[in-house]
């Protein structure tokens, strides 16, 4: 279900952004508005982003093989990182460049009404896509989490990428609308290119946030705190466990987690009992948290560990 919902969010975002991009390009050509052209670049970048996410989702679902024994889940994180680069490179840089060029060669945009209609329609479409991604984020977050906590802790970048894109799209459309309207009201050609530069800066900020979050997932971020808490409770509840040591996790994909945990078991367990206990714990962990697909349990005696040498 999470994968199906993620795909739905991405498809909605793709369809909306393609429609918006076409309308903005037509309006930019007719009116000569710099901020409208910046918004067209913005929507083009967002459309490309959704395509990259769909490719990443498909490649991440390939089964494990000898070369990739833990599967291909991180392929989605790689393509999500490309999205951040694409937003900045195509959307942000072009928008800023267009704004600077128009400041050097100022021109008052034509067809105020046409620009306003296109931007208002674009805002309504962005709001629809934003609502779809927003509802999915709300469905995934814990009751005690804020929406920002869910974005930071989320292990499925597809939903929060579309959400942030749509949020930037709404703000960008309002910036363009403000720049074009002020230019006509004041009979001044400069608010329009200034709005274009502001849109580029906005896209750069979104790209930075996405790059930071997806980059952390790509290099091996741990799973979320609620999952680790469930695992800790399951292990501590077992009658044959005396103490839990290091509990290490790595997110291998949106629904794939690797777990490595050190456990001190009761001393009087024989080999058969120890094996049965480990099997029982692994089974219970998978029941409580199905995303944990790889489990490595190390039987440790913490009291017998030698302290690290000074040379080390």
Q: What is the DSSP letter of 87?
A: I
Using the CB atoms, write b or e for 43-52: b if 16+ within 10 Å: bbbbbbbbeb
Q: Calculate mean pLDDT across residues 232-254.
A: 91
Q: Calculate mean pLDDT across residues 62-72.
A: 88
Is 60 exceeded by the pLDDT of residue 309? no
Tell me which CATH homologous superfamily contains domain 225-304.
Answer: Cation efflux protein, cytoplasmic domain (3.30.70.1350)
Is 70 exceeded by the pLDDT of residue 39? yes
Is 80 exceeded by the pLDDT of residue 253? yes
pLDDT classification of 310: cutoffs 50, 70, 90: very low
Is 50 exceeded by the pLDDT of residue 104? yes
Q: Calculate mean pLDDT across residues 80-90.
A: 82
How many CB atoms within 10 Å of residue 257?
A: 25
Is 60 exceeded by the pLDDT of residue 304? no
Q: Where in the chain is the domain with CATH 3.30.70.1350?
A: 225-304
Q: Where in the chain is the domain with CATH 1.20.1510.10?
A: 2-218
**Per-residue confidence (pLDDT) for residue 308, from 0 to 100:** 46
Q: Calculate mean pLDDT across residues 157-183.
A: 89
Is 80 exceeded by the pLDDT of residue 302? no
Q: Calculate mean pLDDT across residues 201-226.
A: 88
Q: Any residues with CB less than 8 A from the CB of 139 and at least 6 apart, and which? A: 5
Given CATH 1.20.1510.10, say whether it is the number of domain 2-218: yes
Is 90 exceeded by the pLDDT of residue 286? yes
CA-to-CA separations, 123 to 37, 205, 277, in angstroms, rounded:
15, 20, 57
Residues 289, 225 contacting (CB under 8 angstroms): no
**Per-residue confidence (pLDDT) for residue 312, from 0 to 100:** 33
Is 70 exceeded by the pLDDT of residue 306? no
What's the CA gap between 91 and 37, in Å, rounded?
A: 10
């Amino acid at each position: 279900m999470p994968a199906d919902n993620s795909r739905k969010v991405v498809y909605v975002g793709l369809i909306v952004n393609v429609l918006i991009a076409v309308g903005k390009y037509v309006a930019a050509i007719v009116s000569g508005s710099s901020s409208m052209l910046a918004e067209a670049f913005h929507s083009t970048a967002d459309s490309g982003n959704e395509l990259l996410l769909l490719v990443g989702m498909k490649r991440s679902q390939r089964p494990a093989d000898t070369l990739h024994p833990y599967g291909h889940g991180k392929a989605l994180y790689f393509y999500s990182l490309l999205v951040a680069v694409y937003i900045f490179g195509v959307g942000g840089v072009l928008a800023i460049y267009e704004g600077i060029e128009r400041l050097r060669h100022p021109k008052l945009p034509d067809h105020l009404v046409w620009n306003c209609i296109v931007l208002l329609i674009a805002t309504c479409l962005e709001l629809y896509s934003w609502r779809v991604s927003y509802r999915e984020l709300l469905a995934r977050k814990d009751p005690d989490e804020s929406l920002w906590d869910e974005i930071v802790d989320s292990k499925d970048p597809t939903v929060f990428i579309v959400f942030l894109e749509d949020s930037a799209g709404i703000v960008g459309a309002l910036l363009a609308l403000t720049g074009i309207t002020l230019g006509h009201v004041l009979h001044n050609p400069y608010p329009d290119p200034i709005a274009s530069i502001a849109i580029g800066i906005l896209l750069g900020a979104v790209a930075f946030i996405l790059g930071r979050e997806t980059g952390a997932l790509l290099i091996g971020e741990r799973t979320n705190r609620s999952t680790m808490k469930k695992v800790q409770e399951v292990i501590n509840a077992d009658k044959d466990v005396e103490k839990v040591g290091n509990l290490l996790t790595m997110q291998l994909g949106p629904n794939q987690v690797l777990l490595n945990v050190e456990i001190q078991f009761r001393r009087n367990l024989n080999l058969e009992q120890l094996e049965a206990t480990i099997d029982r714990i692994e089974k219970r962990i998978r029941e409580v948290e199905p995303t944990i697909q790889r489990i490595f349990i190390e039987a440790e005696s913490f009291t017998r560990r030698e302290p690290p040498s000074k040379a080390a």
